[in-house]
Chain A
Amino acid sequence: MKSPDIIVKTENLTRQFGRFTAVNQVSIRINRGEIFGFLGANGAGKTTLIRMLCGLLKPSSGEATVAGLDIKRESEKIKQKIGYMSQHFSLYNDLTVKENIEFYAGIYGLNRKQIFQKQNEISKQLQMEPYLDSRTSDLPLGLKQRLALATALLHNPPILFLDEPTSGVDPRARRSFWELIYQKAAQGTTIFVTTHFIDESEYCHRLSIMDNGRMIAIDTPESMKKRYKKKSMQEVFGFLIREKGI
Chain B
Amino acid sequence: MDAIQIDNFQKQYGSRYAVKGVSFSIHFGELFGLIGPDGAGKTTLIRSVCSLLPPDGGIIKINEMDVYQNISAIRNILGYMPQHFSLYQDLSVEQNLHFFADLYQVPQVSLKDKLEQLYHFSRLEPFKKRKAGALSGGMKQKLALSCALIHTPEVLILDEPTYGIDPVSRQELWEMLHTLQKENITILVSTAYMEEADQCDRIALMHQGKISSLGSPSQLKNAYPYPLYRVSGRDFFPLKKFFLKLPQVHSIQLFGDSIHISFAQKPNETDWEHWKKKTNHILTEWNLLSPSIEDCFIEFTRNSR
Partners in one complex: yes
State the A residues within 8 Å of B (CB): 35, 37, 39-43, 140-141, 167-173, 175, 178-179, 182, 186, 196-199, 201-207, 220-222, 234, 237-238, 241
Sorted nearest first, the 4 A-B pairs with minimum C-beta distance are A168-B192, A170-B37, A42-B166, A41-B168
Closest Cβ of chain B: how far from A237's Cβ, in Å?
6
Q: Is the CB of A199 within 8 A of B193?
A: yes
| A residues less than 8 Å from B194 (CB atoms) | 171, 199
Bound together, the chains give a CA A90 to CA B254 distance in angstroms of 26
Closest Cβ of chain B: how far from A160's Cβ, in Å?
16
Q: Is the CB of A197 within 8 A of B298?
A: no
Q: Is the CB of A199 within 8 A of B292?
A: yes
A199-B38 contact, Cβ under 8 Å, with A41-B169, A186-B237, A237-B167: no
Bound together, the chains give a CA A12 to CA B236 distance in angstroms of 33
| B residues less than 8 Å from A178 (CB atoms) | 254
Closest Cβ of chain B: how far from A180's Cβ, in Å?
11
Q: Is the CB of B298 within 8 A of A41?
A: no
Q: Is the CB of B195 within 8 A of A168?
A: no
A42-B298 contact, Cβ under 8 Å, with A168-B193, A205-B257, A221-B257: no
Q: Is the CB of B195 within 8 A of A199?
A: yes
Can you list 23 contacts pairing A with B, beta carbon distance less than 8 Å?
Answer: A39-B167, A42-B136, A42-B166, A140-B39, A167-B192, A168-B192, A169-B192, A170-B38, A171-B297, A172-B298, A172-B301, A175-B298, A186-B237, A197-B193, A202-B255, A202-B256, A203-B256, A205-B257, A207-B256, A220-B257, A222-B232, A234-B171, A241-B168
Taking residues whose C-beta sits less than 8 angstroms from the other chain, chain B's interface range is 20 to 34
- The contact string, 1 if C-beta is below 8 Å from chain A, for chain B 241-266, is 00000000000011111100000000
Q: Write the chain B residue with the least CB distance to A231.
A: B290
Instruction: Decide if B227 is an interface residue (CB 8 Å cutoff).
Output: no
Q: Is the CB of A199 within 8 A of B294?
A: yes
Instruction: Decide if B41 is an interface residue (CB 8 Å cutoff).
Output: no
Q: Is the CB of A238 within 8 A of B294?
A: no
19 more A-B residue pairs beyond the given contacts A182-B254, A238-B171, with a C-beta to C-beta distance below 8 A = A39-B167, A40-B166, A168-B163, A168-B193, A169-B37, A170-B37, A171-B37, A171-B294, A171-B298, A172-B301, A173-B37, A196-B166, A197-B193, A198-B195, A199-B193, A203-B254, A234-B171, A237-B167, A238-B168
Q: Is the CB of A141 within 8 A of B38?
A: yes
- The contact string, 1 if C-beta is below 8 Å from chain A, for chain B 30-45, is 0000000111000000
Q: Is the CB of A203 within 8 A of B255?
A: yes
- Among candidates B169, B256, B298, residue contacting A205 with C-beta atoms closer than 8 Å: B256
Bound together, the chains give a CA A186 to CA B235 distance in angstroms of 11
Bound together, the chains give a CA A204 to CA B136 distance in angstroms of 27
Q: Is the CB of A41 within 8 A of B195?
A: no
Q: Is the CB of B38 within 8 A of A197?
A: no
- The contact string, 1 if C-beta is below 8 Å from chain A, for chain B 144-156, is 0000000000000
Bound together, the chains give a CA A37 to CA B255 distance in angstroms of 13
Bound together, the chains give a CA A238 to CA B237 distance in angstroms of 32
Q: Write the chain B residue with the least CB distance to A168.
A: B192
| B residues less than 8 Å from A141 (CB atoms) | 37-39
- The contact string, 1 if C-beta is below 8 Å from chain A, for chain B 103-141, is 000000000000000000000000000000000111000
Bound together, the chains give a CA A206 to CA B258 distance in angstroms of 12
| A residues less than 8 Å from B298 (CB atoms) | 171-172, 175
Instruction: Decide if B165 is an interface residue (CB 8 Å cutoff).
Output: yes
Q: Is the CB of A222 within 8 A of B195?
A: no
Instruction: Decide if B75 is an interface residue (CB 8 Å cutoff).
Output: no
| B residues less than 8 Å from A40 (CB atoms) | 166
